[in-house]
Amino acid sequence: MHSGSLESVASVVREAKEIVVFSGAGLSADSGIPTFRDGATGLWNKVDPDEVASIEGFLRNPERVWNWLLQLKKLVDERQPNAGHQALARLQEICRAKQLTVITQNIDGYHSRAGNAPVLEVHGTIHRLRCQQRCGFSADWEQSAAEPFRCPRCGAPVRPDLVLFGEMLDEEVFAAAETCSMTADLFFCVGTSFTVQPAALLPVWAKRAGATVVEVNPHPTSLSALADYSIRSGASEFFTALSAKLAARQA
């Protein structure tokens, strides 16, 4: 990571009034949660997402999807938010006079566990269940719920409260994410490959609306050319250094 870019980004943060941090699986990589598309370790390079994480897969074979997601949930419950999540919570504290919103594609809940707020979970969460028919039933997903079950209210299937492939995002959550993106003057993109729509449109809309876009990723992505700063770094390293630099000047 070029120290010059850290100082430049720090001064953009100091000037900014509305900041968005848009995160993906790469942010949780340091917690030991595999990303989806990274080389040999990427989850989708090991298992077919249509089979284990799509609505068609769920309606065809609910046990298969339930079991696979439950294994992922158990790993998420075992592990912890990492230094990257904690540095973002510190950044939010340092920027408390500004509006800083986290928009995440991650379903692990680590941002909130690290103290970030507000957090818009555009792909939902692995920690809650809901009725497939949205009759209003929802519950925390206890690991003891090892088998799919029927909604106690309406009898429809109950499923994890996350966005499966082939499904629309929650309109309210996405509308809020869109509004934040359009009013942000600084938009961080960390740990995402910009593969999945419509979430991958948010940085593009932010850029069009005039935001400075800063990408943090050890590898180039399809967004790198559009970003004002495309920083080759891991999330933990970059945000730890950035928060420290900003805190030093505050002291």
Residues of this chain that interact with ligand APR (CB under 6 A) are 24-26, 29-30, 35-38, 42, 105, 123, 190-193, 195-196, 216-219, 221, 234-235
User: From the CB of residue 32, how many other CB atoms can be counted at a distance below 10 Å?
Assistant: 12
CB of 110 to ligand APR, least distance (A): 13
CB distance 212 to 17 below 8 Å: no
- The closest residue (CB) to ligand APR is 26
Q: Is 123 labeled as catalytic in the residue annotation?
A: yes
CB of 1 to ligand APR, least distance (A): 11
Nearer to ligand APR, 44 or 137 (CB): 44
CB of 251 to ligand APR, least distance (A): 27
Tell me the C-alpha to C-alpha distance, in Å, between residue 63 and each of 36, 47, 57, 67, 107: 21, 15, 10, 6, 20
CB of 219 to ligand APR, least distance (A): 4
User: Measured between alpha carbons, how far is 236 from 88 in angstroms, rounded to an integer?
Assistant: 9
Nearer to ligand APR, 156 or 201 (CB): 201
Among 2, 85, 111, 123, the one annotated catalytic:
123
Nearer to ligand APR, 191 or 203 (CB): 191
Nearer to ligand APR, 87 or 151 (CB): 87
User: Measured between alpha carbons, how far is 130 from 133 in angstroms, rounded to an integer?
Assistant: 9
Written as six digits, the tokens of 170 are 């929650």
CB of 7 to ligand APR, least distance (A): 20
Nearer to ligand APR, 11 or 222 (CB): 222
Provide the pairing of β-strand 186-190 with 212-216: parallel
CA-based nearest residue to 134, from 176, 174, 170, 178: 170
Q: Which residues are catalytic?
A: 123
